[in-house]
Amino acid sequence: MSFYGIVDGSESSLKHFLAQLPGVDQVGAESRAAMLATRSIKTTSKRWAIDTAISMVDLTTLEGADTAGKVRALCSKAVRPDPTDATVPSVGAICVYNDMVAIARTHLDSIGGKHVPVAAVSTAFPSGRASMEVKIQDTQDAIDAGAAEIDMVIDRGAFLSGQYGLVFDEIVKIREVCGERAHLKVIFETGELVTYDNVRKASYLAMLAGADFIKTSTGKVAPAATPPVVLVMLEAVRDFYQMTQRRIGVKPAGGIRNTKDAIKQLVLVNETAGPEWLTPEFFRIGASALLNDLLMQRMKLDDGYYASPNYVTID
């Protein structure tokens, strides 16, 4: 097989390609991200950023204690985040475990949420420690239940021990299972990869293997979607587009708790990959608590005074 004509899928071809990528200077990357965090986004641009961020949220519940009731409440919130304000956009997607997908899809369809896709985490999320057969079944179940997006995890153990071919092959196989029915996000768990060089390598590995989106974290490990990590991933998708004319999406997940954090992410996108990525088609934010803070900030811009949590709904 030929992957964009860049690698042939063999371990040696991958190792060779990854080894010639330029290194990432930690201090330089962190200071670039820190400078972009000083951008001051006000008034009209803040309003635009808030609405855009809302439309990019993958509203998530991934708890052992999830029930049908919880998932339905989340879905209602996803379609209509503010029951008192119809101008608030729906979120980008719902993200749940595969055994909740059918419940989510059915409920969304019944409340006018056909336009909200269901994403399922897969491949023995969050640890990724299971056989390939189990991971494939995990994915297949989710798609059969109605998931239009699959968020898989890479095998970090294999990555950290240099078995890039193994990591690559798993992504290729899951991409095959997704076929035309679902888009594939590949989660790196950047907190476990630790170095920015590893994040860059993982980005290319995933994109070459067929990812539609690259995603920072499971949200179960800290640190998660820090600005410099997202910066490195945005550089990767930018450069990949130059190489292949294929636009890959980026999804930070975990640690983005408030509007300020979300806007910093949008600034990173804007000044790194570019405005073409500023749409839910190419940028998503994995979050749960963030949505209410976005709503409160939106209220403050509209009303002119600070909001209270009493005026936004819990899901």
- Which of 9, 11, 39, 247 contacts another protein by CB under 8 A? 39
Asked whether position 176 contacts another protein by CB under 8 A, the answer is no
Asked whether position 304 contacts another protein by CB under 8 A, the answer is no
In this chain, which stretch among 33-41, 113-121, 163-171, 209-217 interacts with another protein, using CB under 8 A?
A: 33-41
Q: Give the footprint of another protein on residues 243-282 (CB under 8 A).
A: 266-267, 270-271, 275-276, 278-279
Asked whether position 27 contacts another protein by CB under 8 A, the answer is yes
Report d(CA 256, CA 171) in Å as an integer.
26
Q: Give the footprint of another protein on residues 207-236 (CB under 8 A).
A: 235
Nearer to another protein, 27 or 65 (CB): 27
Identify whether the C-beta of residue 110 lies closer than 8 Å to the C-beta of residue 145.
no
**Residue 58 in 3-state DSSP?**
strand
- Which of 18, 41, 53, 88 contacts another protein by CB under 8 A? 41
Q: 3-state SS of 156-200?
A: HHHHHCCCHHHHHHHHHHHHHHHCCCCEEEEECCHHHHCCHHHHH
- Compute how many residues bind another protein; rule: CB under 8 A: 30
Q: Collect all residues with Cβ–Cβ distance below 8 Å to 74 and sequence separation of at least 6.
A: 59, 61, 94, 96, 104, 315
Asked whether position 40 contacts another protein by CB under 8 A, the answer is yes
Report d(CA 263, CA 249) in Å as an integer.
17
- DSSP per-residue letters across 65-96: T--HHHHHHHHHHHH-S-TT-TTSPP-SEEEE
Active site residues: 151, 215, 251
Nearer to another protein, 127 or 241 (CB): 241
Identify whether the C-beta of residue 208 lies closer than 8 Å to the C-beta of residue 6.
yes
Nearer to another protein, 29 or 143 (CB): 29
Binding site for another protein (CB under 8 A): 22-25, 27-29, 31-32, 38-46, 48-49, 52, 235, 266-267, 270-271, 275-276, 278-279
